[in-house]
Amino acid sequence: MTAAIALQGAVKRYGGFTALAGVDLTIERGEFFGLLGPNGAGKTTLISLLAGLARPSEGSVRVMGFDVVRDYRQARRAIGVVPQELVFDPFFTVREILRIQSGYFGLTRNEAWIEELLHGLGLADKAEANMRTLSGGMKRRVLVAQALVHRPPVIVLDEPTAGVDVELRHGLWQFIQKLNDQGHTILLTTHYLEEAESLCHRIAMLKAGRIVALDTTERLLARFQAHELEVRLDQPQAALALGGEAGEDGWVRIPFEHYTDIELILRRLREAGAEVRELRVGEPDLERVFVEVMRSA
């Protein structure tokens, strides 16, 4: 089966600056895929290549099997991109914006799907509101609706929840998850790493235009980060001798591999005369993995 997204040796240069330095990446149909990296890593450049906003300097980029340069019409119909920036026309209502967007793809009888988008994204009561009257979070929802109005099989979300409150964010992810369950391929970039951890099946991490980590979310967590026992002691120095790392207010982090190690750690602390005032177990999380990968790459 043809991959949803395929990059082979993708390079993008802007003058003497190389934004992407030979990226090989395949995203299968139906995946919920995360693309992570610090600012300037090349994420937006990669999305620009997929959307046809920029051409690769070398290599190939395909969406649903269509080359973004040679088969640009088919490739652009196969993808919907939610941009990072809030770009909107202030002179139209939400419904008018979606009708106009439908027209760009030659869709003249699209009212039923527009209604579904409005309800699914919590925009039904704003359908006749002018775009300039909406809050930042609502405008971002309209951008999502615009990207989906032609029912693309591939959906790219570039920082979709930036500036969105918790309630709106929760509703947005419910709708996107529903689309993924229906078979849509989702490519997500976000700085909210807990979102990527909970939603994405696989994750690629970019740094300086190169992929420095690529694996399932589960394996990345297991590979790069052990569990930690966090204890607050009356004598923090007792835990430092066990390989702990001192924090604030008497807290010490002690790494361990298996839950059976916890009793051994506590026994050694008691033997050292340290009194445990508080205790918590820190689970592996993607933020720690991300920091470690960026540091070692």
**pTM of this structure:** 0.81
Both tokens of 202, joined, read: 């696989």
- Name the CATH superfamily for 28-55+79-221: P-loop containing nucleotide triphosphate hydrolases (3.40.50.300)
The full set of domain ranges for the chain reads 28-55+79-221, 226-296
- CATH 2.40.50 fits domain 226-296: no
First to last CA, the chain: 33
Residue 27, pLDDT > 90, answer: yes
Which DSSP letter does residue 110 get? -
Other CB atoms closer than 10 Å to residue 171's CB: what's the count? 15
Question: What digits encode the pLDDT tens for the residues 69-126?
Answer: 999 999 999 999 998 888 788 889 999 999 999 999 988 889 999 999 999 888 999 9
Neighbours of 17 (CB within 10 A): 8
**Cα separation, 157 vs 9, whole angstroms:** 23
